[in-house]
Structure 1
Amino acid sequence: MSMNWITLRVRDLEASLNFYHSILGLPIDRRFESRGRQIVMLGTEGQPKIELIQGSDPALKPECGVSIGFEVASLDEAIESFKSQGIPVARGPITPNPRISFFYVLDPDGFEVQIAAHS
Structure 2
Amino acid sequence: MILKLNWITLRVRDLEASLHFYHRILGLPIERRFESRGRQIVMLGTEGQPKIELIQGTEQALKPDCGVSVGFEVASLDRAIEELKGQGIPVARGPVSPNPSLRFFYVLDPDGFEVQIAEHS
Extract structure 1 runs of 4+ deviating beyond 2 A.
none
SS of residue paired to 1:110: coil
Q: TM-score, normalised by structure 2?
A: 0.97
Structure 2 gaps, min length 5: none
CA distance in 1, matches of 2:58, 2:67: 20
- How much has 1:2 moved relative to structure 2? 0.7
Q: CA RMSD in A?
A: 0.5
Q: Which residue of 1 aligns with 2:50?
A: 48
> Counterpart amino acid of 2:57?
G
Q: Which residue of 2 aligns with 1:68?
A: 70
Q: TM-score, normalised by structure 1?
A: 0.99
Structure 1 gaps, min length 5: none
Q: Percent identity?
A: 82
Q: What does residue range 1-119 of structure 1 map to in structure 2 within 5 Å?
A: 1-119=3-121
SS of residue paired to 2:89: coil
CA distance in 2, matches of 1:81, 1:28: 21
- How much has 1:45 moved relative to structure 2? 1.1
- How much has 1:118 moved relative to structure 2? 0.9
Count of aligned positions? 119
- How much has 1:72 moved relative to structure 2? 0.5
